[in-house]
Structure 1
Amino acid sequence: MQHHLSRRSLLGRSAAAVGGVALGGSALSACGTGGSGGGGSHPTLQVMYDGIDTELGKQLAAFERANDCKVVVSKFDQVKLNAAIAAGNPPDLVRTSGASEMPNLIARGLVENLDPYFAKSTVFKAADLDPIVGVYRFDGKRQGKGSVYGFPSDFSQDAMLWFNKELFDKAKVSHLKPTDSLTYDDLLDLGKRLTVRKGGKVDVFGFDPVWNFVNQAHLMQMIAQQGGSLWNDDFTKADFTTPEARRALQWYVDWGKARVGSGPLDPISDWQGPVYGAGRIAVVSYGYWFGAWINGGDAGAKGAEIAAASGFVPAPQMGSTRVDACMTATGAWIPKKAAHKELAFKFLEFWRGGAPAEAHFKAGGGLPALKHFRTLLPKSTAFDADHYQTQMKNLKNLSVLQFSPYANYTAVEGAITTNVEAAMKGQTSLDSAIRGLQTAVDAVVQQGKQQLGA
């Protein structure tokens, strides 16, 4: 996902901050004998997670020495992961986008139940777990309840808005305020007023909702804000034909046709961060973590200027029900057939319960899943304090979306992209796009049910 790939340099700064810090107690315990999957002395821990090696820096070698093991980090690759799972030789720890993926992975029997590990952990204590860990809980039918099957790296309310005050001033538009009751229609109108075109091309995008970043989750939030639900009670049917779903889809088509953001009619070669950093996006939809990217030098030559000009407000609404959800909570899970499960869990404790986690949250790289780390979030500068206060006040609106265990995340995203973009481009009507989307997702669910024997 664009969101996570964009954070590599942020992780690198965390590594620099943690370089001289000693490893936490759990990571120092003897685990070189391997996990429940065997492996003997000097095991090699396979971690499929982009950027962890950059984030940890010298701490990775320190973990290896302390635990008499070798850690090999590879980029997440779905094709390679599928092949490794089929061969019965999966990595020991795997990255996941979190909320949208976990129910299906767990229901397929691919994920290790971590309850026994949490029960013994001196790092992950039950009373210290933020409710967001519910993204990784599953009781066999519903997300958010039951056993724990993974752990978040961090989390945000992903549809919150960052905006460039200077671009608002140039367009003679009043700045957004955290107390505004901003609707999606308001935002589309703002996008039109803030968009600047030169030579037949968009020079400044007025509003970028980050199309193709967890589209299903964004639709689910927009529908929930209207009091509806995309999925039925047992998650065996998604309905894109309801008035609430149609309104959300219509909004996306209108936004795409308006050409006020980096949609299919005006694609960009990179993710939205560098474009925002260049002063070419007036409003972009990202969570709290994006502030660390802006304020840490990643925004490029204009970094300090962009940081000084950036404001942060809650997500827009499409109805009277306030929903400002965490759509991802990216983190990691341990495959049931992993060779070194205990060692993988100790690495997870170290990574998100030890010194690397402290550095990550001191940099503002998202909200922590361990409550005691929340005191580390940056508040010393005006930039940090302002956005921290906005985020803390907005947490009362946090919710966790529930996804179907029968629907493969990638397949659903592909169906949404294919059908909605066709309507954005004027290649088909909205009605036809909805029919195509409904047919495609029905097929995905049917395939998932057959796969699970449901």
Structure 2
Amino acid sequence: MKKALLLIVALMLMGSLALAGCSGGGNATGETGGKDGDKPIKLVWWVHENPSFVEANKKLIEDYKKVKPNVTIDLQVFPYDAFVQKIRVTMNTKTAPDIVQMFGTWVREYAKNGLLEPAANGAELQAEVYPAAIGGFEYEGQVYGVPHEFNMENGAALRYPKLFEEAGIDKDPATWAELIEDAKKLTKREGGKISVRGLDITSNDSVVFYFLALIQQQGADFWNQDQTQVNFSTPEAEKAMQELVDLVNVHQVTDLTKLGTPEEPYMVFFKGLSAMTTAGPWTIAEGHNTFNVQDFDYMPVPSYSDGPAVFSAESGWGEVVSKQSANAEAAWEFVQFMMKDENAFAWNLRTSSIPANKKVAEDPKYLESAPIVKAALDVLPHGRWIGPLADRDYFFKVINDTYAQIVYGKVSVKDGLKKTEDDINKMLKSKQ
């Protein structure tokens, strides 16, 4: 699944939530109320149309029926765009489902508007799940859902071992400086233009995530203390942005010819036009299945400093329970069943996703089952939740626009980042 495309509609989603207002729980989809005993209970579960997710969810339902034969779960699958629209207009009505599959970036807005049922065991869930993964499911000290995957776009890179061998590179880069030197050796040119990119960090997601990571890896942060405003007027932020600009203008290991186009860097990579491309582990399946490319691997990207490879991440897909559910307790019991170690293990393998559950990610058997994702698994403890972006699309667009303007010499790093800071803080204030 192409994660970048999954959030295109975030602005429309968040902007409309204010109209929903707050509401108490009604009798939404449950056939019976009360606690889960021997009474028949029906739970409606809405999900988006992702083939591997849907099949894994169906298997979970089968397994749960063996444990709770009195509970029937009606899995309803919708095309992605229709799914987002349907959630947006029904969560404050009696036709809301009991359980909804949500991306973590959306959850806070629904919780803020009183449309979700908080978890009774929030502290337990926080202990079981990586902070970067559960962060988006938290609001004002409570947990409103459970992520089943750790959505990450950095910390590792797609790489062609054969090109490394041809360039005389016989080991992974251990430092950021070595990464750049390797990228220079891997870059190829024809007629004065780049024909094979040595290191490509030019997707809309990569620019933002690596900009933030390079700030954090210097020991700084880009938020104020209560995460209400960003601060890009720092030496660390300026150095981070300059480093990304230098990849194009100084080191010349990539260019911006594909920035903002439908042909993202991972697609360029699988066409053999780049040697290294920073990308999330979800692109591995894309390479194998969509592009039918097998001769690549997934390498770690070294830290920008002597410290760990800290990075920011958005919360991935998970489940929330509607405030309208007449069977919220039973709904949460099923969600918690999904989080049991053995069930989470199976779900992550079936969906080729990175586990949000710490025990699953750290289980040696998981690595044995999916060895290619080792680089991603190794950095999971260093992930930090990206923070309350409010308007995710706007946040990313402003940073990407600034990056392009700096590369093309239209604005200085210092001035560009100050304007970026002002524009994002103005947006954040309007959403408070």
TM-score band, normalised by the shorter chain?
Answer: 0.7 to 0.9
Alignment partner of 2:159 out of 163, 175, 192:
163
Q: Which residue of structure 1 aligns with residue 359 of structure 2?
A: 371
Q: Confirm or deny: 8 A CA contact 1:232 1:238 kept in the other structure.
A: yes
Whether the aligned pair in 1 keeps the contact of 2:202 and 2:259 (CA below 8 Å) is no
How far 1:208 moved relative to its partner? 2.1
In the alignment, the residues of structure 2 paired with residue 289 and residue 278 of structure 1 have an alpha-carbon distance, to the nearest angstrom, of 17
CA offset digits 1:326-360 (Å, max 9, x no partner): 61341224265454645654554455546574153
Query: Which position in structure 2 is the counterpart of 1:16?
Result: none
Who is 1:298 aligned against? 289
SS of the residue 1:421 aligns to: helix
Is residue 235 from structure 1 mapped to residue 227 from structure 2 by the alignment? Answer: yes
Distance in 2 between residues matched to 1:393 and 1:126, nearest whole Å = 20
Identical-residue share of aligned pairs (%): 19
Q: Aligned to 2:174, which of 151, 157, 181?
A: 181
Deviations 1:174-227 (A, max 9, x none): 1442xx4322x5544543432334467654222123521275443332111112
**What is the deviation of 1:286?**
3.2
SS in 2 for 1:213: helix
- Please name the residue that 1:209 is paired with: 201
Residue range with higher mean Cα deviation, 433-442 or 213-222? 213-222
Match of 1:330 among 312, 316, 319: 316
The answer to whether residue 411 in structure 2 is matched with residue 404 in structure 1 is no
RMSD value, Cα: 4.2
Q: After superposition, where does 1:329-368 map in structure 2 within 5 Å?
A: 329-334=315-320, 336-339=322-325, 341-342=328-329, 344-345=331-332, 348-349=335-336, 351=338, 353=340, 355=343, 357-358=345-346, 360-361=348-349, 365-368=353-356
Conserved 8 A contact 1:191-1:206:
yes
Conservation of the 8 A alpha-carbon contact between 1:214 and 1:413 = no
CA shift in 2, pair 1:426/1:51, >3 Å: farther
Q: After superposition, what is the alpha-carbon deviation per residue over 1:362-410, rounded to whole angstroms, capped at 9, x for unaligned?
A: 7863235151572431427xxx55763x556555x623245137x3323
Distance in 2 between residues matched to 1:262 and 1:79, nearest whole Å: 37
- Give yes or no for the alignment of 1:245 onto 2:237: yes
Work out which of the residue numbers 290, 299, 312 in structure 1 matches 2:299: 312
Query: Do the aligned partners of 1:154 and 1:331 also contact (CA within 8 Å) in 2?
Result: yes
Are positions 1:47 and 2:36 aligned together?
no
Q: Take 2:198 and 2:113, find their aligned partners in 1: how far apart are those partners?
A: 42
SS of 1:68's equivalent in the other structure is strand
Kept in 1, the 8 Å contact 2:200–2:253? The answer is yes
Q: Structure 1's 426 and 366: CA in aligned 2 closer, same or farther, altered over 3 A?
A: same
- Using the alignment, how far apart are the partners of 2:3 and 2:359 within structure 1? 23
CA distance in 2 between counterparts of 1:127 and 1:439 reads 36
In structure 2, C-alpha distance between the alignment counterparts of 1:345 and 1:358, rounded to whole Å:
20
SS at 1:93 equivalent:
strand
Identify the residue that residue 149 of structure 1 maps to in structure 2. Answer: 144
Deviations 1:245-266, CA, capped at 9 Å, x for gaps: 1112222333355764474555
2:346 aligned partner, one-letter code = E
- How many Å separate the matches in 2 of 1:398 and 1:35? 43
Conserved in 1, the CA contact under 8 Å of 2:212 and 2:311?
no
Distance of 2:307 and 2:231 partners within structure 1 = 19
Q: Separation in 2 of the partners of 1:281 and 1:271?
A: 12
SS in 2 for 1:332: strand
Q: Which blocks of at least 5 consecutive residues in structure 1 are unaligned?
A: 7-30, 141-145, 450-454
Distance verdict in 2 for CA 1:206–1:105, change over 3 Å: farther
**Correspondences of 1:397-436 after superposition (within 5 Å):** 398-401=382-385, 403-404=387-388, 407-436=390-419
Counterpart residue number, 1:286: 279
Alignment CA distance shift 1:371-1:70 (3 Å): same
SS of match in other structure, 1:114: coil
Number of equivalent positions: 393
- CA distance in 2 between counterparts of 1:60 and 1:103 reads 26
> Conserved in 1, the CA contact under 8 Å of 2:213 and 2:312?
no
- Cα distance between partner residues in 1 of 2:193 and 2:228: 44
**Alpha carbons of structure 1 residues 35 and 375: separation in structure 2 relative to 1, 3 Å:** farther
2: CA distance between counterparts of 1:250 and 1:342? 51
Q: Which amino acid aligns with 1:227?
A: G
Q: Tell me if the contact between 2:125 and 2:146 (Cα under 8 Å) persists in the aligned partners.
A: no
Q: Which runs of 5+ in 2 are unaligned?
A: 7-28, 35-39
Q: Which residue of 2 aligns with 1:23?
A: none
Aligned pair partner of 1:254 in 246, 252, 268: 246
Task: Please tell me whether the aligned partners of residues 116 and 321 of structure 2 are also in contact (alpha carbons under 8 angstroms).
Answer: yes
Q: What letter matches 2:307 in structure 1?
A: T
- Cα distance in 2 for partners of 1:363, 1:87 equals 31
| Pair 1:84–1:364, CA change in 2 (3 A) | closer
1:234, CA displacement in angstroms?
A: 1.4
- The offset of 1:71, in angstroms, is 1.6
